[in-house]
Amino acid sequence: MSFCKDDKVKDFKEHFCKEAETIVTDDFPKKIIQLDELLKSDMFQCEDLTLMHMTLNVPVPDPVIVNSHQSEAKRRKLEHSLDDIQGTKVYLNPAGMVTCNTKLTKIIEVMKPEIRTLVEKCNMLKMWVQLLIPRIEDGNNFGVSIQEDTLGELRQYESEAAAYLDQISRYFITRGKLVSKVAKYPHVEDYRRAVEEMDEKEFISLRLVCCELRNSYAALHDLIVKNIEKIKTPRTNNAESLY
């Protein structure tokens, strides 16, 4: 029974290593070209950032004449009636739901799978290099140090790619808070302008993410291909004599 399990584990490692090498030799070059073409496509070729703006569905109400005793009385009566309502107080938008910036959400829907793919591939290559590290011995560890450096680079790129997902989440949270400010204070133009500035910033960030993903694939491909022999065979079987 133990021999059967050992054989299955051995077959898994061999298949895993072949698949990892295919990722480096075939998938990485394809991803480099694909992301480079995406970066040059109409999706990211936007010189005028105002095209990324979306009109907020929050109307500006008529100003209240505070000097009118009648209007002030109506306002107090309305506030008193709202206080009598049980439950959590919410802001009512007469124009309905305020939607996300659909132009940016389309770009995000394209970029999120690309970010996830890089994270998964880095994770797989980490395991591949880890399986190739030989047992600990004294001396002849130059190839092992190359493997460890490669592992460090893979961890770094994986961590950076995962941070891009957090960046997208923070964008929606921050924009939602600004939009709620617009709904609460519709007469304050600065809040509306802040939403537009945030949308422009997010577009630039998404374009930079696409560029960084392409560069990550290119850097990892170059690093691994140049050191593929030492990564696969960190120690030579035949020690050369010094004399």
Report domain extents, the chain: 2-60+99-232
Q: How many residues does the chain have?
A: 243
Cβ atoms of 98 and 57 within 8 Å: the answer is yes
Report whether CATH 1.10.3720.10 matches the domain 2-60+99-232.
Answer: no
pTM comes to: 0.82
Reported as a single tens digit per residue, the pLDDT across 155-192 is 999 999 999 999 999 999 999 999 999 988 888 999 99
Cβ atoms of 150 and 237 within 8 Å: the answer is no
Please give the pLDDT value at position 75.
Answer: 61
Please give the pLDDT value at position 174.
Answer: 95
Confidence band for 8, pLDDT divided at 50, 70 and 90: confident
Q: Tell which residue, 46, 146, 54, 153, has the closest CA to residue 101.
A: 54
Reported as a single tens digit per residue, the pLDDT across 106-162 is 999 999 999 999 999 999 999 999 999 888 776 667 888 999 999 999 999 999 999
Reported as a single tens digit per residue, the pLDDT across 69-111 is 556 666 666 555 555 555 545 556 666 788 899 999 999 999 9
- State the CB neighbour count (10 A cutoff) for residue 188: 13
Please give the pLDDT value at position 242.
Answer: 36
Which CB contacts under 8 angstroms, 24+ apart, belong to 152-157? 153/219, 153/220, 153/223, 154/122, 154/125, 154/126, 154/129, 154/220, 155/122, 155/126, 157/118, 157/122, 157/216, 157/219, 157/220
Please give the pLDDT value at position 107.
Answer: 96
Average of pLDDT values for 16-21?
Answer: 91
